[in-house]
Amino acid sequence: MVSILLISLLYLGIMLIAAKISEEIFRRIGLVTFVGPILMGILLGNGVFGVIQINEIISFITSLGIIFLLFLAGAEEFDVENRPNANIFLAVILESIIPFSVVLVALYVVDSKDSLILVAPLAMSSAGPLSRMLMDVEISENRISNLIFQQVILIEIIFVILFAIFLRTGKILITIIEIFLVFAFTIMFGGTLAKILEKIEYYFKAREIEFASLIAIILIIGYLSELYKFNSAISAFFLGILLKNYLKDRPELLERLHAFTYGFFEPLFFLGIGLYVTKLNIIIILFGLLFFSLIIASKFLAGFISSRVVKIDGKINGIATSVKGGVDSSLLLTSLTLGYINEFMYSFSILAISLSALIAPLLFQMSYKARKKISESKRVKLSQEVIKLQIKPLYVTCQENLRSVISKISERGVRGIVVVNYENKPLGYVSIQTLLEIDPELYENTKACDVLLEEVPIEYDNVKIIDLLRKFRETEKPVIAIVNKEGVLVTTVYERELARFLISL
């Protein structure tokens, strides 16, 4: 008889390989990648073939995946500094009430027990998949994308809070007080917790101490939450919000957390979602299609109506605010593992969410005409001027502090940033290596020009792409500044970003 430990090692190996293969398949055919592992999990689990069986170890690893994914969702998706206006709040109210009401009524009609606990994951939107979708269609930094993202972030937060309340319907007042205290703690002691981590970095020089300390805090907070009957995954979400600025100042730490979470936990988590699906039958499939239709229709209607408030095209707003497949999947699995819903309810719900996650981005791409088939005449040519690529410049002024510098570097995922003077002329660039050598406590009061600037290669705006590629090889610099005849910065070019444009060659 093979022990549970040995068989779990085999299962985990199969799950990782299968998840990554299915991700790649979905990527190549232009579909949302994380749905691939979910469908693979359905095939490998009891849903179809029954090759992999859920056990205590697999369940534990999946639970850890939920915690770390929600921590990163809080740290990266929810921007506490981005304050929406009154129109956004009004739109969000509409976009929450309409899907909530439609899904709740539908659950009552089909006589699903614990309808409230299912409403949150089914009716909410997900900011993680939305951000990836906006980047895919190359509108992730314009006005439309910002307004859409603000709406979805607030919808996600509202339903996360509702889910926490619905988990303890018998103690609603206590749960609301707890959530209020979590927010109060976030505002009052966020900086204190970050400083504790900074002190640990300063006094302890053991290898990877900052990474180990962060993981330890996430796990300990999760334990304390469960001890006091508060969901550990929801606590991880709020903890991510709490440590948002701390992680922004440490892109290398965030990168290691990404590798830890997205390289190991995320593929296992999404494939694990599929493993929990019970044996598929016509009833589960029909229920999944029914709720998929209701979700898409109600969320599109809500987004279409609210588009008049936020002044965005109705079709675009309706589809974009219907995106699902991130935190909602985590909440659904949490409700199953805690025993609030049965396998049947979980199975048709995850099918509905997966279908929504697949269809909404495809509809959005069609509506926005983002997936352009590049004609031969519009292909990027090595002989054309780089300015025609219309690359968005990335730079900081001399007076901006290092917190702003590292924030911009982190957002774009680059290894350095150009610094300009009051005339907008490039002076040099600040590298990630330079920032890592400076105490993070000094970021707030240190200006960009107070640190050692490295020489930045400069080219005029008529430079050709082929010449720019040669310049990158010769200088081995991460960025080149493009200026006009007066020496004023026009744009900045990074080697990796330039490579993306050349894919169409």
pLDDT greater at residue 98 or residue 236: 98
Cα separation of 78 and 237, whole Å?
9
Cα separation of 360 and 322, whole Å?
6
Q: Of 164, 183, 181, 180, whose CA–CA distance to 229 is shortest?
A: 164
Q: What is the pLDDT of residue 172?
A: 66
Q: What is the pLDDT of residue 157?
A: 82
Secondary structure tally for the chain: helices H, strands E: 21, 6
Is the pLDDT at 387 greater than 90? The verdict is no
Positive/negative CA dihedral, 490, 496, 498, 500: negative
Query: What six digits make up the tokens of 493?
Result: 């070019």
Cα separation of 186 and 77, whole Å?
16
Residues 44, 271: contact at Cβ < 8 Å? Answer: yes
Cα separation of 316 and 309, whole Å?
14
pLDDT greater at residue 388 or residue 42: 42
pLDDT class of 371 with cuts at 50, 70, 90: very low
The backbone region for 311, taken as left when phi is positive above 0, alpha when psi lies in -120 to 50, beta otherwise, is left
Residues 396, 420: contact at Cβ < 8 Å? Answer: yes
Cα separation of 193 and 186, whole Å?
9
Average pLDDT over residues 161-185: 73
Of 210-224, 238-252, 292-306, least confident by mean pLDDT is 238-252
Domains of the chain and any CATH numbers: 4-368 (1.20.1530.20), 378-502 (3.10.580.10)
Q: What is the pLDDT of residue 236?
A: 83
Is the pLDDT at 200 greater than 50? The verdict is yes
Token pair 């081995």: residue: 476
Q: What is the pLDDT of residue 245?
A: 78
Q: How far is CA 272 from the centre of its chain?
A: 19
Beta strands in 352-503 (DSSP E): 395-397, 416-420, 426-431, 458-460, 479-483, 489-494
Residues 428, 404: contact at Cβ < 8 Å? Answer: no
Is the pLDDT at 250 greater than 60? The verdict is yes
pLDDT greater at residue 87 or residue 476: 87
DSSP code per residue over 12-46: HHHHHHHHHHHHHHHHHTTS-TTHHHHHHHHHHST
Per-residue pLDDT tens for 403-419? 889 888 887 778 899 99
Of 140-144, 155-159, 173-177, 250-254, least confident by mean pLDDT is 140-144
Per-residue pLDDT tens for 309-349? 998 888 889 999 998 887 888 888 888 888 888 999 999 99
Is the pLDDT at 194 greater than 80? The verdict is no
Other CB atoms within 10 A of residue 378 CB:
10
pLDDT greater at residue 8 or residue 245: 8
**Could you report how far apart the first and last alpha carbons of the chain are, in Å?**
56
